[in-house]
Structure 1
Amino acid sequence: MSLQAFWNLFQAHPGRILNDLALFFALAGAWLLLATRRRERLALERLVADSEVQPQPLSAIEPLARLNRFFYRFGFACLALALAVSWYSTRL
């Protein structure tokens, strides 16, 4: 499709296009949160399997904890952006 056809589609249905964009942000944020939680669980299982002593909490491993905090914040920011775009699309 040409750029003009996309522009005409946006002009005809601006709320639908913005709602689709909000859905994309929501799916991306949710996937990021789920993937981060899964990575945390796998790291904890590796710690338990590798050590004979009690497993350390993930906060003891600072680089991994910082990375997980970043991904959690980014995932929640994507969900908040999706909510804001979806709310805005209902006002058009």
Structure 2
Amino acid sequence: MSLQQLWLMCLSYPAQVVNGLALFLALAGGWLLLATRLREQRAAARLLLDGELATLAEAGLAGDARSERLNRFFYAFGAASLLAALLLSWLSTSLQAAALR
């Protein structure tokens, strides 16, 4: 399939293209949230195995500040991409309804 035919197909079905982009953003955001959660669990398990978790809890420290800041950023970015996917999905349904009229 040539690039010109692919472009014409995208122009013919704009709702499908927007919905595909929403699907990509939802998958990427969900994967980022899941990977961040697994990263947090592995770090807590590593601290628990090393016996450092109890000493950090006694000292009132939750963990490394840089890691927590990075995790908060990943959570916010993942949530924002899921929100963008939801909005794009709603937009694609309105595009499809407008095309049917």
Does TM-score exceed 0.5, indicating one fold? yes
Instruction: Quote the offset at 1:52 in angstroms.
Output: 5.7
* Larger CA Rg, structure 1 vs 2: 2
- Distance (whole Å) between structure 1 residues aligned to residue 52 and residue 21 of structure 2: 48
* Among 64, 67, 73, the residue aligned to 1:64: 67
Q: How does 1:1-92 map to 2 (within 5 A)?
A: 1-51=1-51, 54=54, 56=56, 59-92=62-95
Where does structure 1 differ by over 2 angstroms across 4 or more consecutive aligned residues? Answer: 55-60
Residues 1:55 and 1:79: Cα distance change in structure 2 (over 3 Å) = farther
Instruction: For 2:16, give the aligned amino acid.
Output: R
CA RMSD of aligned residues (A): 1.8
Render the CA deviation track for 1:42-70: whole Å, top value 9, x for unaligned. 00001111126616368432011001001
Structure 1 spans left out of the alignment, 5+ residues: none
Larger helix fraction of residues: 2
Residues 1:29 and 1:3: Cα distance change in structure 2 (over 3 Å) = same
- Give identity over the alignment, percent: 52
Residues 1:55 and 1:43: Cα distance change in structure 2 (over 3 Å) = farther
Structure 2 spans left out of the alignment, 5+ residues: 96-101
Moved more, 12-21 or 49-58: 49-58
TM-score between the two structures when normalised by the length of structure 1: 0.89
- Distance (whole Å) between structure 1 residues aligned to residue 5 and residue 93 of structure 2: 23
Across the two proteins, how many residue pairs are aligned to each other? 92
